[in-house]
Amino acid sequence: MRLVLVGPPGAGKGTQAQYIASNLSIPKISTGDIFRANVSGGTELGKLAKTYMDRGDLVPDEVTIAMVRDRLSEDDAQDGFLLDGFPRNVPQAEILRDMLKDWGQALDLVLELVVDDDEVVRRLAGRRTCSQCGRIWHVEFDDKKDDRCDVCGGALFQRDDDKEETIRHRLEVYQVQTAPLVAYYADEGILVGVDATGPVEEVTERAMEAIRPFTG
């Protein structure tokens, strides 16, 4: 199964990606996570990406695509993958299609997580991430009174780009650059919309239901 998740920042892509990938036994490939790992590791890629990420802009396509090409070439991605946060504009989608075609592969399905702007802002403003296991939490919805991960005990942090003015800019970037992917994949006949409101488990159930007809 070769799957892509699209949706605005805060729609719940990362949250759903952990469950969907684990249900389907495929690797979850999140470009945001790979960039953040490079930023904390102080690599050249991380230094370059950070300037764009801090502003809420997209990292240049050639850098992002090279990184994804490397990741998709790894052994664990040969029988399927779930992409979270890539592609994020039409040029990235076209290159992904050509890259997969060269390898005799194609995407099976693109799930669009649908949620309104007010909910997205509420979700992003309260987002916390575990510095140890990477699990995603929400201060209000998960009732996080302490700053520790319930699963591994790691310290939780707030992402630098989850500040109000950066959130606003990321939503604009989504509307202008990423939202056209919805029409692009609808044209390809592989887009399915999933209502991403309500409890996390219910969204996962809706997503798995949408995926079922494609699992063969």
191 to 6, 43, 153, 178, 186: CA distances (angstroms) = 10, 35, 38, 14, 5
Binding map of ligand ADP across residues 93-122, x = CB under 6 A, - = no contact: ------------------------------
Could you tell me which residues come within 8 angstroms of residue 98 by beta carbon, excluding any fewer than 6 positions away? none
Strand order in the sheet with 109-114: 28-30, 81-84, 2-6, 109-114, 191-195
* Identified binder of ligand ADP from the candidate list 1, 4, 6, 12, rule CB under 6 A: 12
Could you tell me which residues come within 8 angstroms of residue 29 by beta carbon, excluding any fewer than 6 positions away? 68, 71, 72, 77, 81, 82, 83, 84, 86
Nearest to 17 by CA among 208, 216, 213, 214: 208
From the list 7-15, 73-81, 149-157, 186-194, the region that binds ligand ADP by CB under 6 A is 7-15
Which CB sits closer to ligand ADP, 177 or 216? Answer: 177
Which CB sits closer to ligand ADP, 203 or 211? Answer: 203
13 binds ligand ADP (CB under 6 A): yes
Q: Which two tokens stand for residue 155?
A: 């310290």
* Identified binder of ligand ADP from the candidate list 77, 100, 179, 200, rule CB under 6 A: 200
Which CB sits closer to ligand ADP, 42 or 104? Answer: 42
Binding residues for ligand ADP restricted to 18-47, rule: CB under 6 A: 31-32, 35
Instruction: Check whether 88 is labelled as a binding-site residue.
Output: yes
User: Known catalytic residue: 97?
Assistant: no
Instruction: From the candidates 2, 28, 71, 88, give the one annotated as an active-site residue.
Output: 88
| Other residues' Cβ atoms within 10 Å of the Cβ of residue 78 | 11
82 binds ligand ADP (CB under 6 A): no
Nearest to 22 by CA among 187, 207, 210, 214: 207
Q: Cite the active site residues.
A: 13, 88, 127, 159, 170
- List residues binding ligand ADP (CB under 6 A): 7, 9-15, 31-32, 35, 52-53, 56-59, 64, 85-86, 88, 92, 123-124, 126-127, 136-138, 141, 161, 170, 199-200, 203
Residues placed in the known binding site for AMP: 31, 36, 57-59, 85-88, 92, 159, 170
